[in-house]
Every structure is written in C-alpha cells, then in structure tokens.
Amino acid sequence: MRKTMTVAMAVVALTMAGCQRRTIVQDPILPPAQEAPPMVAPDPLDSELDLVELPAAQAALIAQAGSDTVYFGTDEHMLDMAARTTLAAQARWLLANPAVRASIEGHADERGTREYNLALGERRANAARDFLMAQGVPAHRLTVISWGKERPVAPGAYEAAWAQNRRAATVIVR
C-alpha cells in the first residue's frame, strides 16, 4: 500500500510539474514584454485593404439615403435620432443593392491624441455598422476603418470645423 501511495504521489507530482512548464508562444509581430502597438490609420495605398471606392454607387446611396455621413458630439460615439434616421435610409439602400459592400469609416476632430482619436473613430464606425446590421445588412458586407483625426473634411481649429469632422461615413466599395 505504501508503494502504491508513493507511485500515486509521484504521478501527481509529475502531472503538477508538467502543468507548471507551459510554453508561452510569443506573438511574432510583437517584441517580448511589450503591449500591442497603438492602432494607426491604415495606409490608403496598402494592398491588404483591397477596397476600391465606387463613385457612381456612392452617388446613388447619397441620392437615396440623403447622406453617407452621420455626426457625433464631442467625445461621443452614441447615435442620435438624426444619425439613426440617416443610417436607416442607408440600410434600406444597402438591402436593395445586395451586390455592394460598404466601408464604415470613423473620424474624429483634431483635439486629443492620435491614439485616442483612432479608438474614438473606431467606436463611431462600429456604432454605425452595428446599427446597419440591426437593420438587416449582413456583416460580411461591412468593413470598419478608423481614420481618427487623419482625414478631416473641414480644416480649422474651431467648433464648426470640429463638428463636421466628428463623423462616420459609409463608403461604397467593391
């Protein structure tokens, strides 16, 4: 019995030792002991994006939906009633045109750090995408990109310009 108990204890000890020797595989992209790098705006020339804008389809979306853009308050990513109305019209157009895809592009004004604005732009784009999906647009047809403060439509350091830059735009792509 003592030998059986010793063997059992040895098996338990070896099992426990095996649990403590886990190999942690380092992500080859990140150097050891570092956090993930901050999100950066995609390079429009990057071939991985494979998104080609379709101007004629974009014009049709705007003509039918009234706008391809929704706006947000300062440091906000929640959709207001005007944004929901615009996105509902966009969803109707997207559902009527099942062969097209859309890139939902989030933007921010110039205030704040680059990293903060990229994250805020992503939250804005995700809010718009989630609303479109709730309206029935399939997720595989929607891509999210955050440009942060990198692509302002209105230059200037005043409230009217900032308000135009706090947006999510639906861009029709192939």
Residue 70: pLDDT band (50, 70, 90) is very high
Does the pTM surpass 0.85? The reply is no
pLDDT number for residue 174: 86
Torsion of CA 12, 15, 19, 23, to 10 degrees: 160
Residue 41: pLDDT band (50, 70, 90) is very low
Residues contacting residue 132 through CB under 8 Å, at least 6 positions apart: 87, 90, 91, 94, 102, 104, 142, 170
Distance separating alpha carbons of residues 38 and 44, to the nearest angstrom: 18
Give the chain's mean pLDDT: 81
Architecture of the domain delimited by 55-173: 2-Layer Sandwich (3.30)
